[in-house]
Structure 1
C-alpha cells in the first residue's frame, strides 16, 4: 500500500488545498484525493510539482507500507 503524507505536510505548514491548487495549477480534485488517500493513480508531473512547491523529496510525500507486515504484526 502507498501512504500519502500530503495531509500531514499541509497541516505542518498550515497550507490549504485551495492554496496548493492555486499556486501549482494542480486540479483541486486531484489534491483532495491525495489528501484523503483515495487517489488510485498520480501523474508524474503532479508529483514533480508537489515536491517542488513543498520543497520535499518524493519519499517524504509518499511511503510504501507493506500491508502483509502490518497484518502479521497485528496477529502477534
Structure 2
C-alpha cells in the first residue's frame, strides 16, 4: 500500500513559516482540488496521479519519498 505523508508535509511547512496552512491554501497554490487533497489525507489506500504528486512536491519543495512511502500489506 502507498501511504501519503501530506499531513507531515503540511505540519513541516507550518513550523517553518510559523503559521497555520489550510488544505484550501494548498489547493489554491497547487491547483489540486480540495476534495482530492482531503481524500489523500483521510482515505487509506487512495490513489492519485503523478501530476498531482508533482504539484505537491513542487509546493512543499520536497522529494517524492518525503511525500509518499510504500508500506507492505
| TM-score (structure 2 length as normaliser) | 0.81
Alpha-carbon contact 2:3-2:44 (below 8 Å) kept: no
RMSD between superposed Cα atoms in Å: 1.4
Task: Report the count of equivalent residues.
Answer: 67
Unaligned runs of 5+ in 1: 68-76
Would the aligned equivalents of 2:23 and 2:38 in 1 still touch at CA under 8 Å?
yes
Q: Tell me the TM-score normalised to structure 1 length.
A: 0.78
Give the structure with higher Rg (CA): 1
Q: Which runs of 5+ in 2 are unaligned?
A: 15-20
Whole-Å Cα distance in 1 between the matches of residues 51 and 33 of structure 2?
Answer: 12
8 A Cα contact 1:4 1:61, kept in partner? yes
Superimposed CA distance per residue, residues 9-63 of structure 1 (whole angstroms, 9 cap, x where no aligned partner):
1022222111100111110000011112445321111011001111011111000
Higher helix residue share: 1
